[in-house]
């Protein structure tokens, strides 16, 4: 767990951040003289014709940002300084580096039209919450390194991020996009679920103005895909999409996480280090830069907030995935006693112990709660619902927004555990463990299998980063 800040540290941090905000305001007068007020983000028209796309400025180590015109005042630095001041507690330069402040300013600059339009629109994918999050984290890194403003594009039938989260630093709400731009990025395409001919997903110039838009599709149903790996591990992202690097709108759909491996990409690893970023913390830092649980999600977290917020207790998070088809099925709980190894070896004398248990099977939750009633916490009253309800539990689609918030609440609560035992072929528990501020002692277990959870037998982050959907 994170160390307790020394007396006065919080005040000093706030003072520093407000000083930054003041400095940004001072820079505003210079920006007013140098920025062009006639440049505005291009509207999302589909076909060619009309104004030509503005030529994007060269990408430098100083990021160039994105955003949407709504809620942006005429002066982007004023806006960025205000947001940074309002959300000072979520900026941690010691753990996350300096990029957050720079990117917030750049994002506001692009949104307000003071910089050429360079956007990456994250198109919601037909996946669970965890797969969507790791995809967005990959897209955020692409946006940072290619000098683009990240926004979220809505897709009918899938919950928007605003259902469960507020945005503490940037305005990530994108304007509506035409269906012709979104259609090739859906999992179901040309009447086929999981349409695999990726080249056919490129836009047709007869239907989409390809000088304005270009698609990137990184949706995969198994743990790895060489093309996705090569995109993040070996490629200069400033040149992507290949042949369309200067297009104003990159439309990006992804359910794969490749953030961790970017530190092996020789094109970008020096820049990442100069920004003070660390591979092991990048997903956690990026997540909290983009997302803050809204009031409804915080209400969903309230029942577990007090016990999982205890600093005197040993908290062990246990996640068992029954499978996407098991949301309405019965199941038998695994023998959780194997995880008592963690408790025996890590517990201090007399220390309280909490097992926080999550599963996509209500039957498993109820069995676990009945078997270990004194120390196991779980929600045994609510039926879990897959947020891609049209594929997995269509009868529950009326409550999918509440299910999205419930999943977000459990993900964040799970991250509060000190040690994590997760199903190996599942992204949900894995992501929750990576969002932890602790040392990330993670034990991945294959379904219907057992393993030793000894003191030094946790899995390496390097191995886990490439497991299943990836990190």
Q: Which CATH number does the domain housing residue 391 bear?
A: 3.40.50.11350
Q: Is residue 61 included in any domain, yes or no? A: yes
Identify whether the C-beta of residue 392 lies closer than 8 Å to the C-beta of residue 324: yes
Distances 97 to 103, 264, 289, 325, 380 between C-alpha atoms, Å: 12, 18, 12, 41, 40
Q: Among 293, 320, 350, give the residue marking a domain's end.
A: 293
Q: Among 241, 267, 293, give the residue marking a domain's end.
A: 293
Cα-trace Rg, the chain: 23
Q: Across the 471 residues of the chain, what is the mean pLDDT of every consecutive 10-residue run?
A: 43 45 41 34 43 35 35 58 61 79 88 91 91 94 94 90 94 91 82 62 87 87 64 90 94 90 93 91 94 96 94 94 59 65 91 94 90 92 80 75 94 96 90 90 83 83 84 85
Q: What pLDDT shows up at residue 68?
A: 39
Name the domain count of the chain: 2
CA distance 284 to 95: 10
In this structure, are 276 and 310 located in the same domain?
Answer: no
Question: The tokens of 119 are what?
Answer: 């956007």
In this structure, are 271 and 301 located in the same domain?
Answer: no
In this structure, are 289 and 252 located in the same domain?
Answer: yes
Q: What pLDDT shows up at residue 72?
A: 47
In this structure, are 177 and 72 located in the same domain?
Answer: yes
CA distance 433 to 224: 20
Q: Is residue 247 included in any domain, yes or no? A: yes
Question: The tokens of 389 are what?
Answer: 């309800």
In this structure, are 176 and 289 located in the same domain?
Answer: yes
In this structure, are 210 and 132 located in the same domain?
Answer: yes
In this structure, are 314 and 259 located in the same domain?
Answer: no
In this structure, are 261 and 305 located in the same domain?
Answer: no
Question: The tokens of 197 are what?
Answer: 């001919």
Identify whether the C-beta of residue 443 lies closer than 8 Å to the C-beta of residue 452: no
Q: Among 293, 325, 345, give the residue marking a domain's end.
A: 293
Q: What pLDDT shows up at residue 240?
A: 93
Identify the burial level of 156 via C-beta atoms within 10 angstroms of its C-beta, where 0-12 means exposed, 13-18 middle and 19 or more buried. Answer: exposed
Q: Is residue 132 included in any domain, yes or no? A: yes
Q: Is residue 1 included in any domain, yes or no? A: no
In this structure, are 308 and 242 located in the same domain?
Answer: no
Nearest 5°: CA angle at 101, between 100 and 105? 115
In this structure, are 254 and 305 located in the same domain?
Answer: no
| Statement: the pTM of the whole predicted model exceeds 0.75 | yes
Q: Which domain holds residue 137?
A: 9-293
Identify whether the C-beta of residue 413 lies closer than 8 Å to the C-beta of residue 304: yes
Q: Is residue 78 included in any domain, yes or no? A: yes
């990836």: which residue's tokens? 470
Q: Is residue 156 included in any domain, yes or no? A: yes
3-state helix, strand, coil in the chain (%, to 5): 40, 15, 45
Q: Is residue 2 included in any domain, yes or no? A: no
Pairing of strands 165-166, 188-189: unpaired
Q: Is residue 184 included in any domain, yes or no? A: yes
Among 236, 237, 262, 271, which Cα is nearest to 97's?
271
Helix or strand or coil: residue 401?
Answer: helix
In this structure, are 325 and 260 located in the same domain?
Answer: no
In this structure, are 203 and 341 located in the same domain?
Answer: no
């Amino acid at each position: 767990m994170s160390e307790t800040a020394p007396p006065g540290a919080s005040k000093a941090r706030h003072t520093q951040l407000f000083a930054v905000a003041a400095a940004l305001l001072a820079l505003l007068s210079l920006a007013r003289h140098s920025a062009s007020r006639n440049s505005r983000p291009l509207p999302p028209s589909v076909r060619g014709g009309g104004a030509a796309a503005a030529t994007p400025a060269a990408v430098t180590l100083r990021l160039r940002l994105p955003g949407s015109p709504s809620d942006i005042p005429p002066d982007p630095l004023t806006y960025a300084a205000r947001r940074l001041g309002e959300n000072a507690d979520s900026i941690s330069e010691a753990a996350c580096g300096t990029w957050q402040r720079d990117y917030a300013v750049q994002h506001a600059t692009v949104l307000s039209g003071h910089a050429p339009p360079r956007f990456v629109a994250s198109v919601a994918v037909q996946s669970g919450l965890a797969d969507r999050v790791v995809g967005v984290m990959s897209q955020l890194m692409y946006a940072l390194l290619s000098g683009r403003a990240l926004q979220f594009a809505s897709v009918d039938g899938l919950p928007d991020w605003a259902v469960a989260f507020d945005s503490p630093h940037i305005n990530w709400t994108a304007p509506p996009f035409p269906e012709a731009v979104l259609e090739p990025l859906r999992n179901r395409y040309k009447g086929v679920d999981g349409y695999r001919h990726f080249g056919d997903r490129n836009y047709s110039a007869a239907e989409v103005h390809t000088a304005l838009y270009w698609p990137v599709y990184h949706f995969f149903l198994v743990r790895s895909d060489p093309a996705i790996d090569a995109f993040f591990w070996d490629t200069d992202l400033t040149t992507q999409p290949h042949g369309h690097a200067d297009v104003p709108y990159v439309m990006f759909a992804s359910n794969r996480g490749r953030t961790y491996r970017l530190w092996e990409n020789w094109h970008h690893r020096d820049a990442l280090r100069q920004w003070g970023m660390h591979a092991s913390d990048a997903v956690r830092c990026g997540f909290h830069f983009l997302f803050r649980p809204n009031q409804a999600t915080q209400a969903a977290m309230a029942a577990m907030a007090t016990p999982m917020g205890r600093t005197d207790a040993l908290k062990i998070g246990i996640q068992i995935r029954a499978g996407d088809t098991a949301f309405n099925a019965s199941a038998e709980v695994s023998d959780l006693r194997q995880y008592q190894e963690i408790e025996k070896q890590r517990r201090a004398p007399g220390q309280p112990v909490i097992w926080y248990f999550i599963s996509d099977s209500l039957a498993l939750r109820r069995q676990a709660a009945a078997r270990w009633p004194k120390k196991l916490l779980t929600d045994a009253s609510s039926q879990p619902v897959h947020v891609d309800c049209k594929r997995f539990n269509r009868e529950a689609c009326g409550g999918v927004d509440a299910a999205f918030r419930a999943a977000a609440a459990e993900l964040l609560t799970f991250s509060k555990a000190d040690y994590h035992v997760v199903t190996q072929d599942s992204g949900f528990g894995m992501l929750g463990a990576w969002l932890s501020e602790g040392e990330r002692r993670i034990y991945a277990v294959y379904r219907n299998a057992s393993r030793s959870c000894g003191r030094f037998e946790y899995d390496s982050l390097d191995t886990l980063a490439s497991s299943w959907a990836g990190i």
